[in-house]
Amino acid sequence: MSDPFIVNEFQEAILDTVRRFTEEVVVPVAADLDRNTDPEDSFSWDIVEKADAAGIRTMTLAEKWGGIGADSVTTGMVVEELAKGDIGVSVIMTQTLKIAQILQVALTQDQQERFIPGFRDDPRGLLAIGITEPETASNYFVPGDWSFTSKAEKTDGGWIVNGMKHFISNGNRACVYMLFVQTEKGKPLQEGSTCFIVKRDTPGFTIGRVHDKMGERLANNAELIFTDCFIPDEDVIGEPGKGFQVLVDFLPASNAYAAATVLGNAQTAYDRSVEWAKTRNQGGKLLIEHDGIRSQLAEMHMMIDVARTYIRKATWMADNRDSVAWDPALGALPKVYASQAAWQIATWASEIHGGSGFMKDIGMEKLMRDAAAFLHSDGVNRTLLLKAANSIFKD
């Protein structure tokens, strides 16, 4: 499918690089890494280092920081391309690329100078964002009288943080984290939480369990544990008590990036189904010649096209917020649509492969497990629909 949003040679060149990286580095090892039983063994530093060498890991850093300043539209294209090879690798990079974008606008000059070079210069430098905790999960998407359980208490020159976060992508692999905790008792988290920037080696900060996930296994997810962890005042992002505003102000394209990631998975499931239908002969003709299969493939094609168009709209609007009014529903809905479409496409793709679709060596079952990740991550879909409804019907 041609993409009318690829508007210049710069984007073409970036996407060529990412395509080559995906085909040469990710695809040959993804299925084997996925099969490892210990979740930590499914993660590969070799892939991260090669993504660094290809310029992918730091591509959203501005030129002055040594990157190429990839915008949201281009970043959405890149993470989709990565996910065509493996969704977990795309997640590792999506988290890193989007948080690098936030750091450059949300951090003060002093904070940028203290945190960005260390991340940039480490070929294994990854980033993570810690919001979700066991008892305060979907709650952060909908207004209400609830607070984070993780909290920070004021002390001389900084804050003492106690609590834990879970399900955090890159949790056990990152070097720098954005962390959201309650700093004002009795206030809802939207009004009483603060965003901190934290280095991995901060005393009092440890990694807990690495979660054993059903899919998206090449990315690790982990618990973050804070025990009397001192964070200095200089490492507050924005203002104390206004942590939530950091998410609202600086993360408009995050939902569309998640959508683009699951879309890459759907594209591969579709492409492989077309290939299969063109070579598998049953009922006296190729599957592609049966009207039921042809129309099913056309429907999959349509869903992919619609999801991609929605993502391009959201990322383009995120890039042009100065000139076009941002629609907050675009911060929730593209991932809902893309993940539902991707799940439908993955199950249909498996069905088109018949009995082979159920066999591990064909790879359809991995695509199904991987597609399922985005029904759950970046906000559960029903909660995101509620968040969108609250912005659409706010009057």
Angle between helices 45-53 and 87-106 (to 10 degrees): 60
Q: How many CB atoms lie within 10 A of CB 388?
A: 20
CA 190/CA 248 separation, integer angstroms: 10
Instruction: Please report the sign of the dihedral spanned by the C-alpha atoms of residue 20, residue 357, residue 306, residue 314.
Output: negative
Kindly state the number of chain residues that form the binding site for ligand FAD, as judged by CB under 6 A: 22
CB 130 within 8 A of CB 179: yes
Q: Kindly state whether residue 131 participates in binding ligand FAD, applying the rule CB under 6 A.
A: yes
Q: Kindly state whether residue 332 participates in binding ligand FAD, applying the rule CB under 6 A.
A: no
Q: Kindly state whether residue 39 participates in binding ligand FAD, applying the rule CB under 6 A.
A: no
Q: Kindly state whether residue 44 participates in binding ligand FAD, applying the rule CB under 6 A.
A: no
Instruction: Please report the sign of the dihedral spanned by the C-alpha atoms of residue 386, residue 391, residue 393, residue 394.
Output: positive
CB 79 within 8 A of CB 93: yes
Nearest distance from C-beta of residue 150 to ligand FAD, angstroms:
11
Instruction: Tell which one of 106, 129, 307, 364 touches ligand FAD (CB under 6 A).
Output: 129
Contact map string, positions 188 to 217, toward ligand FAD, x by CB under 6 A? -------------------------x--x-
Using alpha carbons only, give the angle 261, 263, 264 rounded to the nearest 5 degrees: 70
Nearer to ligand FAD, 35 or 382 (CB): 382
Q: Kindly state whether residue 378 participates in binding ligand FAD, applying the rule CB under 6 A.
A: yes
Instruction: Tell which one of 6, 15, 68, 142 touches ligand FAD (CB under 6 A).
Output: 142
Site residues (CB under 6 A) for ligand FAD, limited to 154-173: 167-169
Q: Kindly state whether residue 21 participates in binding ligand FAD, applying the rule CB under 6 A.
A: no
Q: Kindly state whether residue 316 participates in binding ligand FAD, applying the rule CB under 6 A.
A: no
Q: Kindly state whether residue 56 participates in binding ligand FAD, applying the rule CB under 6 A.
A: no
Nearest distance from C-beta of residue 213 to ligand FAD, angstroms:
6
CA 281/CA 165 separation, integer angstroms: 51
Q: Kindly state whether residue 149 participates in binding ligand FAD, applying the rule CB under 6 A.
A: no
Q: How many CB atoms lie within 10 A of CB 22?
A: 23
Q: Which residues contact 355 (CB under 8 A, 6 or more apart)?
A: none
Q: Kindly state whether residue 382 participates in binding ligand FAD, applying the rule CB under 6 A.
A: yes
Residues that bind ligand FAD (CB under 6 A): 129-132, 137-138, 142, 167-169, 213, 216, 221, 373, 376-380, 382-383, 386
